[in-house]
Chain A
Amino acid sequence: MTGKRIALVAGLWLASGVLPAFAQKQGGVLTMYHRDSPASASIHEEATYSNNVAFMAIFNNLVMFKQDVPQNSVDSIVPDLATSWAWSADNTKLTFKLRDGVTWHDGKPFTSADVKCTFDMLMGKSTNKFRKNPRKSWYDNVVDVTTNGDGEATFNLKRPQPALISLLASGYTPIYPCHASAADMRTKPIGTGPFKFVEFKINESIKLVRNPTYWKKGLPYLDGIDFTIIPNRSTAILAFIAGKFDMTFPTEVTVQLMKDIKGQAPQAVCKFESSNVNTNLIVNRDAPPFDNLSIRRAMAMAIDRKSFISILFEGQADEGGALLPPPAGIWGLPQEQLQTIPGYGPDVKKNRDEARKLMEAVGYSADKRLKVKVSARNIPVYRDPAVILIDQLKEIYIDGELDVVETANWFSKVARKDYMIGLNLTGNAVDDPDQAFYENFACGSERNYTNYCNKDLEKDFDVQSQETDLAKRRALAWAIDKKLQEDVARPVIFYSRYGSCWQSHVKGVTVMVNSSYNGYRYEDVWLDK
């Protein structure tokens, strides 16, 4: 073989992507600060990505969103504990072939019984009960999970629901072992994943160590992951700048702090991405005078979204409807459609003129102003936009008074509709209409804080949910989203974006752009030290 041929073969070999597999280095412990002390180590029992960031790497799902693809979609779902999956002809059965030879961290074999146990618990059918089960409603359409031998599990559905596969791919849907109690999973979780749980010291640290018998040969690259819990953001960022940590807590760095990091640690790699969390206006539509649609609509039209985004994010946030807008989101209304919805148009003065007319029609004016309390959870991400909202509502004869509510009382207060106007945050773990629509806008849903109820529209929820054609489903979702905004169901003010940073020697990190809940397996992350 001549030198040129050798060079050509080597070039092709490099181009084929084989090289990176050899370039990755084994070893080292990834250090990261954690923003708070998770309530427990059980992902199924919690509803914050504080849990996923720290504990997702202990587990596997049946399927998962490919960890190096930033945008979660059906196309990026790859096998995990399942080797393959198939829908029945009528799309009411989803069957998974399971991986053979997988063991739990305690050495016991993984079988289809574990899959059944996990979903029986999630559906409330098991004697082994979760203390809390915040995503029980995700499986409302699942009749049961049946097994066929150790290597096959089938989800039997009431009706077709193509979104189920996306829900199963979420970081919120790990498979738990049958042989561990719910209580054990809160304090010393056992998984099949790339890292084993070592310890969780409340308010102090979380330690994971490499699973040497991980079923993906050669993975993970890291020897372990150490999280130091630092609730004080200034201290945490300074510690990252000083090089004490390899990574910041993901999607937590504000645009202002990002500037600090780039100024003082220019070698750091930072990404500023959407987290699929929207800040929205909630209005108690059952309490006078807000039972009047004109007032609710006027409030929605008074919102100057660009001001919020400019003040809080220096322009780096997005306007959208109930679903995350493109390009980060897959299902959200495109800008040209969004602009046609009352209140979304760029002419704020015109919008507010119309809003004032609506208020005047129901008897309010500069001399007769409406006094309200604007409730907000007592943390900055709620409080800061609430202050801006109060300022903007003054434009339409509404004098708001900030009513800060302690975290312990926030959900119970809004759930029992003990508020007039509120400033709320809604996070979506999976970028899919099913999760957003049923959870936040279905009649009687626990998280439907505004009590919006439109039975006709709910039928449309079901229609889109069953639609298997992606383009048709998207069109249906857009129509529903548009109707929700026009009905002032829960006006979305903005979708925030936050930063994640890591030192330049950390490789293989992918920040997901349409969910903050699904990208923390860390099996592909390595340290180039």
Chain B
Amino acid sequence: MLSYLIRRLGLMVLTLFGISIIIFTLLRVVPGNIVDVLFDAAGFVDPADKLKIEQDLGLDKSIPVQYATWIGGLLRGDLGYSYVSEKPALAEILPRIPITARLAALALLFAVSLGVPLGVISAVRQDTKLDYTLRVFSLAGLSLPAFWLGLLILMAAVALFGSIPIYSAAPKTWFDSLVMYAVPAAAVGLRSSALIMRLTRSSMLEVLRQDYIRTARSKGASDRTVNYGHALQNAMLPIVTVIGVEAAFLIGGLIVTETVFNIPGVARFLVEAIRWRDYPIVQNLVMFIAVIVVLSNFIVDLLYAVLDPRIKLAD
């Protein structure tokens, strides 16, 4: 087990190192840098001023030197300064993480609490009207673009209640927080719930045909015990995998939802930073998201062993 953990941690570091090179290179390959964007925002101004800003920001140095400076700072916990806000990158990034984390957690909670039970029901009631209804529901959930669903929700809220559930100030209590994030979380969680539901259904159908399920039934176990105690537990492996992938996606991939509901989270900030070519913000945020992805994969792998004792992590 220990050797497995060490090996995985080593792979994680290697993966993150590769990602750091890719993101760093890609950012420099994209035409235009922060100085071009600043100049665009101010119209065209003196090229000498432009050169001076490039020197001030260290953009005149060679790419390897810039990379070494960034990685060196990262290892020391110094994320550099945002070129746009002229504040430490950490101070810009940190406040946005809890916002996205809350939204992602709520969306995931919504997705799992809706997707897993409905998937089980759909499998148990295979080829009934209820199953067909749920399958249509899940297909619709997968097909609805998040921005469109979000806008529909906003329009409906304005038309029906005369209010709009968007972020305009930091919530003061956990209840305010719940109210503020509930609607966007539901909008984004609907797609994930549909995905989880379909996967739960197919995984359950496969397990329900296994011999040990038949054995359990023949021993007089109740439907509830069979479905949830035996079948669901054994059907969980692919579901956990998807939940892990979704969790990682929700941290960095909520750009549309954050834009439509005006939530100042990580994804919207990242896109804005890319637009501004604000390298310190983009590089560090992408690395943060990469860490989340790698960690969630790692946790999922560990969960495999918990859910299925036959899996030996050391192997």
Binding site for B on A (CB under 8 A): 37, 39-40, 45-48, 131-134, 136, 183, 186-187, 201-205, 228, 230-232, 234-235, 238-239, 241-244, 264, 406-412, 415, 446-447
Q: Assess whether A230 is in contact with B31, with CB atoms less than 8 Å apart.
A: no
**CA separation between A39 and B35, bound complex, in Å?**
12
Pick the contact of B260 from A232, A243, A447 — CB < 8 Å?
Answer: A232
B54 shortest CB reach to chain A, Å: 11
Instruction: Give every chain B residue within 8 A of A242 (Cβ-Cβ).
Output: 157-158, 162-164
A40 shortest CB reach to chain B, Å: 8
A-B contact pairs, 26 of them (CB 8 A): A39-B41, A39-B42, A45-B42, A47-B43, A131-B53, A132-B38, A132-B49, A132-B53, A133-B45, A133-B46, A134-B43, A202-B269, A235-B151, A235-B260, A238-B154, A242-B158, A243-B163, A244-B166, A407-B40, A407-B275, A408-B36, A409-B40, A410-B40, A411-B39, A415-B44, A446-B45
**CA separation between A65 and B157, bound complex, in Å?**
41
Q: Are A183 and B86 CB-contacts (below 8 A) given A203-B272, A235-B166, A242-B158?
A: yes
**Binary contact readout B196-236 vs A (1 if CB under 8 angstroms, 0 otherwise):** 00000000000000000000000000000000000000000
A504 shortest CB reach to chain B, Å: 16
B277 lies within 8 A of chain A by Cβ: yes
**CA separation between A201 and B264, bound complex, in Å?**
10
Q: Assess whether B162 is in contact with A136, with CB atoms less than 8 Å apart.
A: no
**CA separation between A318 and B42, bound complex, in Å?**
26
List residues of B (132-190) whose CB comes within 8 Å of A's CBs. Answer: 151, 154-155, 157-159, 162-164, 166, 168-169
Instruction: Give every chain A residue within 8 A of B45 (Cβ-Cβ).
Output: 132-134, 136, 446
**CA separation between A226 and B270, bound complex, in Å?**
24
**CA separation between A249 and B85, bound complex, in Å?**
22
Instruction: Give every chain A residue within 8 A of B37 (Cβ-Cβ).
Output: 407-408
Q: Assess whether A446 is in contact with B44, with CB atoms less than 8 Å apart.
A: yes
Q: Assess whether B166 is in contact with A202, with CB atoms less than 8 Å apart.
A: no
B59 shortest CB reach to chain A, Å: 14
**CA separation between A406 and B276, bound complex, in Å?**
11
**CA separation between A64 and B151, bound complex, in Å?**
41
Q: Are A447 and B262 CB-contacts (below 8 A) given A242-B163, A412-B36?
A: no
Pick the contact of A186 from B86, B166, B260, B262 — CB < 8 Å?
Answer: B86
**CA separation between A239 and B275, bound complex, in Å?**
25
Instruction: Give every chain A residue within 8 A of B39 (Cβ-Cβ).
Output: 132, 411-412
Q: Are A238 and B264 CB-contacts (below 8 A) given A202-B92, A203-B269?
A: no
Instruction: Give every chain A residue within 8 A of B31 (Cβ-Cβ).
Output: 406, 408-409
Instruction: Give every chain A residue within 8 A of B73 (Cβ-Cβ).
Output: none
B98 lies within 8 A of chain A by Cβ: no
Closest residue of chain B to A201 (Cβ to Cβ) is: B264
The interface centre, meaning the residue of A201, A228, A235, A264 with most chain B CB atoms within 10 A of its CB, is A235
Closest residue of chain A to B33 (Cβ to Cβ) is: A408
Q: Assess whether A408 is in contact with B32, with CB atoms less than 8 Å apart.
A: yes
Instruction: Give every chain A residue within 8 A of B264 (Cβ-Cβ).
Output: 201, 203-204
Instruction: Give every chain A residue within 8 A of B268 (Cβ-Cβ).
Output: 203
**CA separation between A241 and B163, bound complex, in Å?**
9
B292 lies within 8 A of chain A by Cβ: no
**CA separation between A202 and B276, bound complex, in Å?**
12
Instruction: Give every chain A residue within 8 A of B36 (Cβ-Cβ).
Output: 408-409, 411-412
Instruction: Give every chain A residue within 8 A of B157 (Cβ-Cβ).
Output: 242
**CA separation between A132 and B85, bound complex, in Å?**
15
B291 lies within 8 A of chain A by Cβ: no
Q: Are A235 and B262 CB-contacts (below 8 A) given A187-B85, A408-B36, A415-B44?
A: yes
**CA separation between A204 and B258, bound complex, in Å?**
12
Instruction: Give every chain A residue within 8 A of B82 (Cβ-Cβ).
Output: 202
Instruction: Give every chain B residue within 8 A of A243 (Cβ-Cβ).
Output: 162-163
**Extra inter-chain contacts (5) besides given A46-B41, A187-B86, A235-B151, CB under 8 Å:** A131-B49, A133-B45, A187-B87, A235-B259, A407-B40
B261 lies within 8 A of chain A by Cβ: yes
**CA separation between A239 and B163, bound complex, in Å?**
8
Pick the contact of A133 from B49, B86, B154, B155 — CB < 8 Å?
Answer: B49
A270 shortest CB reach to chain B, Å: 17
Instruction: Give every chain A residue within 8 A of B16 (Cβ-Cβ).
Output: none
Instruction: Give every chain A residue within 8 A of B272 (Cβ-Cβ).
Output: 37, 202-203
B84 lies within 8 A of chain A by Cβ: yes
The 10 closest A-B pairs by CB, nearest first: A408-B32, A47-B43, A242-B164, A204-B264, A134-B42, A39-B41, A132-B42, A47-B42, A408-B37, A415-B44
**Binary contact readout B15-58 vs A (1 if CB under 8 angstroms, 0 otherwise):** 00000000000000001110011111111111001000100000
**CA separation between A365 and B208, bound complex, in Å?**
74
Q: Assess whether A234 is in contact with B151, with CB atoms less than 8 Å apart.
A: yes
Pick the contact of B164 from A40, A204, A244 — CB < 8 Å?
Answer: A244
Instruction: Give every chain A residue within 8 A of B40 (Cβ-Cβ).
Output: 407-412
Q: Are A406 and B32 CB-contacts (below 8 A) given A203-B268, A238-B154, A244-B164?
A: yes
**Binary contact readout B251-276 vs A (1 if CB under 8 angstroms, 0 otherwise):** 00000000111101000110010011
A222 shortest CB reach to chain B, Å: 18
The interface centre, meaning the residue of B32, B40, B46, B157 with most chain A CB atoms within 10 A of its CB, is B40
**CA separation between A46 and B169, bound complex, in Å?**
27
**CA separation between A244 and B261, bound complex, in Å?**
13
Instruction: Give every chain A residue within 8 A of B155 (Cβ-Cβ).
Output: 238
Q: Assess whether A46 is in contact with B42, with CB atoms less than 8 Å apart.
A: yes
Instruction: Give every chain A residue within 8 A of B261 (Cβ-Cβ).
Output: 235
Instruction: Give every chain A residue within 8 A of B42 (Cβ-Cβ).
Output: 39, 45-48, 132, 134
A1 shortest CB reach to chain B, Å: 51
A441 shortest CB reach to chain B, Å: 15
Instruction: Give every chain A residue within 8 A of B260 (Cβ-Cβ).
Output: 232, 234-235
A275 shortest CB reach to chain B, Å: 16
**CA separation between A315 and B305, bound complex, in Å?**
68
Q: Assess whether B164 is in contact with A238, with CB atoms less than 8 Å apart.
A: yes
Q: Are A231 and B259 CB-contacts (below 8 A) given A203-B272, A238-B158?
A: yes
Closest residue of chain B to A232 (Cβ to Cβ) is: B259
Instruction: Give every chain B residue within 8 A of A234 (Cβ-Cβ).
Output: 151, 154, 260
B268 shortest CB reach to chain A, Å: 7
Q: Assess whether B44 is in contact with A411, with CB atoms less than 8 Å apart.
A: yes
Instruction: Give every chain A residue within 8 A of B276 (Cβ-Cβ).
Output: 39
Instruction: Give every chain B residue within 8 A of A205 (Cβ-Cβ).
Output: 169
**CA separation between A263 and B32, bound complex, in Å?**
43
B315 shortest CB reach to chain A, Å: 47
**Binary contact readout B68-106 vs A (1 if CB under 8 angstroms, 0 otherwise):** 000000000000001011110000100000000000000
B251 shortest CB reach to chain A, Å: 17
Q: Assess whether A235 is in contact with B44, with CB atoms less than 8 Å apart.
A: no
**CA separation between A406 and B30, bound complex, in Å?**
11
Instruction: Give every chain B residue within 8 A of A202 (Cβ-Cβ).
Output: 82, 84-85, 92, 269, 272
Instruction: Give every chain A residue within 8 A of B33 (Cβ-Cβ).
Output: 408
Closest residue of chain A to B278 (Cβ to Cβ) is: A202
A154 shortest CB reach to chain B, Å: 27
**CA separation between A406 and B46, bound complex, in Å?**
21
Closest residue of chain B to A45 (Cβ to Cβ) is: B42
**CA separation between A437 and B164, bound complex, in Å?**
46
**CA separation between A419 and B164, bound complex, in Å?**
44
Instruction: Give every chain B residue within 8 A of A244 (Cβ-Cβ).
Output: 163-164, 166, 168
Q: Assess whether A228 is in contact with B168, with CB atoms less than 8 Å apart.
A: yes
**CA separation between A409 and B40, bound complex, in Å?**
8
**CA separation between A446 and B50, bound complex, in Å?**
13
The interface centre, meaning the residue of A47, A132, A183, A264 with most chain B CB atoms within 10 A of its CB, is A132
Instruction: Give every chain A residue within 8 A of B92 (Cβ-Cβ).
Output: 202
